[in-house]
Every structure is written in C-alpha cells, then in structure tokens.
C-alpha cells in the first residue's frame, strides 16, 4: 500500500440532515479547503488519491458525506481505516441538533427529509439518527447546533480547523441538568451530590466564578475527594486519547441549575487538563440562567 509522504489536511463533514452541513461546507471553503459535497464513502479513497498525486496543488480537502451516501455506498469506517493506513489523518466533524429543531427547520424550508419517504419528517429524523449512531460515537468533533447560531458555528469550525488549530483540543462545559445536558458531550459528569450553594441565602445570587461560591464548594470534603479521583482519571485518559489520535474532547459537568457547583468544578478540571499541554477551553453554558 502506497503511503502519502506529504499528506494534505483532510476533514470529513457529516451528521444529521438539517443540522448545518451546508453552512459548515461554506466555512471550510473560506478556510481554503477544496470542498466536495455529497461524497459517497466508497469514492473517498479515490478522490484523496487524486488530491495527493504528483503535481496536485490541493493541500486542504473537506468532504461532505450525508446519509444518502452512507446508505448506498460502501463502508465509511473501512474508508477511514484505509486513509489512515496511507498516512493520512482525517478529522471527522459530526453535526447534530434536537429532533424538534430539525423538524422546524424542514418545515420552514418545506423540504422532504431524505429518510422520511412518505412518512413524517420526524420519522425520517429518527431513522437517520439510528443509522448514524455509530458514526457519531467515533467522530472527532460533535457539534450540536440546536442552540448554535450560524456565527457561532463558523467560529467553532475556524477555531478547530483553521491554520493554527491545536493538535488536541478539550472543551470543558458546565451546565444545569434542568436546562438539559449538552448533546455533543463525549463525557458527562454529575456533581449534584455536592452541597448546593443555592440553599445558602448569601451565595444564591452569585455564580461559581466568584470567590465566595468557589470557597464554599471547594471547602466541602466530598469535593476534594472527588477532584482527586477525577484528576487521576484524566491523567490516564488524556494521554491515551492523544495516542489514539483523538483531536477533540468535550467534557460536560452538570449540577442542578448550572450556576454554582458545575462552574467551580469545570474551572478546576480545565486547569488540570491544561497541565497535560493540550488546548483547553471552558464554556459556562447556564451560569447566567435563572
């Protein structure tokens, strides 16, 4: 098998229909990628061979693969394995959104869902979600566009696939379970077992970003014990994820409302993960929610 000596950057855009693949493809074009839409998985290897052939000036490729290609053309997983054997390092971006949001988007555009046939749009969405479950689990980066604007999606892609994208990036998200857990999290941690500052009158109006709340949460014996175990866990996982070639990891930490305990623990965990030399971002999704 011929190995590629100067491998181009290769991104594969896939995910739920209506979740933003077209928008993502345009962003990749703006970043200088040669973008091919509706790519059957069985042809991925051939297209990449042409891109890396002698005399080719293509150094960044983005391929958009949707459920129609997945259903009728070859095994996507086998295609990725073949590319890696040739020395390429494809990064898979999976876009998704909640069922209700996808239904509204299809109804607004008066489009038929590719998996619905004569059934309801929701039936097609559920079939597609089941079909793509394994692919979602193995993707490098999952982005949930349920509450993401077009501008936010563009920023996320530029950050992760731009000229100075990090080798591995970890995003730590604090959230409140009462607002729903993030759909794009790889790991979800629950800290609702810790004493809740919400029930301390003078702390209730504040967030975990403020010293008084942080001191309260960090002063609990259970917090220290939990953090010790958590740090040890990520000391094992982060290097192993890097060794396996994982580019992105999203860790979600939740408490009841997403304002106090989860915020404190997210900050603490992010600092520890950063000590491994990886790029770490922190997003406190619900800390201003009521």
Place of tokens 């936010």: 152
pLDDT recorded at residue 192: 97
Domains and their CATH numbers in the chain? 9-161 (3.40.50.300), 169-284 (no CATH)
β-sheet bridge partners, residue 187 = 251
Comparing 270 with 108, which gets the higher pLDDT?
270
Among residues 45, 149, 159, the alpha carbon closest in space to that of 93 is found at: 159
Report how far residue 255's alpha carbon sits from residue 192's, in angstroms, rounded to the nearest whole number.
5
Report how far residue 173's alpha carbon sits from residue 177's, in angstroms, rounded to the nearest whole number.
12
In 10 A of CB 70, how many CB atoms? 18
69 pLDDT higher than 80: no
Report how far residue 250's alpha carbon sits from residue 29's, in angstroms, rounded to the nearest whole number.
25
The token pair that represents 266 in the structure block: 């997210």
Q: What is the mean pLDDT of residues 230-258?
A: 90
3-state secondary structure of 245: coil
- Per-residue DSSP letters for 49-98? HHHHSTT----EEEEE--HHHHHHS--HHHHHHHHHHTT---EEEEEE--
Phi/psi for 226 (5° steps) reads -65, -45
Among residues 91, 102, 82, the alpha carbon closest in space to that of 42 is found at: 82
pLDDT recorded at residue 1: 43
Secondary element (H or E) of residue 99: helix 99-109
Half-sphere exposure of 17 (CA within 13 A, CB side): 26
E-state strands within the chain: 9-15, 34-36, 60-64, 91-96, 141-144, 169-176, 187-190, 248-255, 279-284
* Residue 219 · residue 272 · CB < 8 Å: no
Secondary element (H or E) of residue 271: helix 261-274
Question: pLDDT (tens digit, 9 = 90+) per residue, 168-185?
Answer: 789 999 999 999 999 889
Phi/psi for 91 (5° steps) reads -110, 125
Q: Which of 51-55, 167-171, 248-252 has the lowest mean pLDDT?
A: 51-55
* Residue 116 · residue 124 · CB < 8 Å: yes
Spell out the residues 6+ positions from residue 41 whose beta carbon is closer than 8 angstroms to its own. Answer: 65, 69, 70, 73, 74, 75, 76, 79
Report how far residue 43's alpha carbon sits from residue 75's, in angstroms, rounded to the nearest whole number.
11
pLDDT recorded at residue 7: 66
Among residues 55, 14, 17, 11, the alpha carbon closest in space to that of 34 is found at: 11
Question: pLDDT (tens digit, 9 = 90+) per residue, 180-208?
Answer: 999 889 999 999 999 999 999 999 999 99
Comparing 243 with 105, which gets the higher pLDDT?
105
Q: What is the mean pLDDT of residues 45-74?
A: 72
């Amino acid at each position: 098998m011929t190995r590629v000596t100067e491998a181009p950057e290769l991104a594969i855009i896939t995910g739920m229909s209506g979740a933003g693949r077209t928008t993502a493809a345009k962003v990749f074009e703006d970043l200088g990628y040669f973008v091919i839409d509706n790519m059957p998985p069985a042809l991925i290897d051939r297209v990449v061979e042409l891109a890396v052939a002698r005399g080719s000036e293509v150094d960044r490729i983005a391929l958009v693969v949707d459920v129609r290609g997945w259903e009728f053309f070859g095994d996507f997983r086998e295609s990725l394995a073949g590319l890696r054997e040739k020395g390429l390092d494809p990064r898979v971006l999976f876009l998704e959104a909640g069922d209700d949001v996808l239904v509204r988007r299809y109804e607004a555009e008066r489009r038929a869902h590719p998996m619905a046939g004569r059934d309801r749009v929701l039936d097609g969405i559920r079939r597609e979600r089941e079909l793509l479950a394994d692919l979602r689990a193995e993707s490098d980066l999952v982005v949930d566009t349920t509450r993401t604007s077009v501008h936010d999606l563009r920023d996320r892609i530029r950050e992760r696939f731009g000229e100075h994208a990090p080798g591995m990036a970890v995003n730590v998200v604090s959230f409140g379970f009462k607002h729903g857990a993030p759909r794009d999290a790889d790991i979800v941690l629950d800290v609702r077992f810790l004493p809740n500052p919400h029930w301390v009158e003078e702390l209730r109006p504040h967030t975990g970003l403020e010293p008084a709340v942080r001191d309260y949460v960090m002063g609990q014996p259970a917090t220290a014990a939990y953090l010790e175990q958590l740090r040890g866990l990520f000391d094992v996982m982060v290097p192993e994820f890097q060794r396996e070639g994982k580019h992105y990891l999203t860790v979600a930490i939740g408490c009841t409302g997403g304002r106090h305990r989860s915020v404190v623990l997210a900050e603490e965990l992010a600092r520890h993960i950063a000590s491994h030399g990886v790029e770490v971002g922190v997003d406190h999704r619900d800390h201003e929610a009521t």
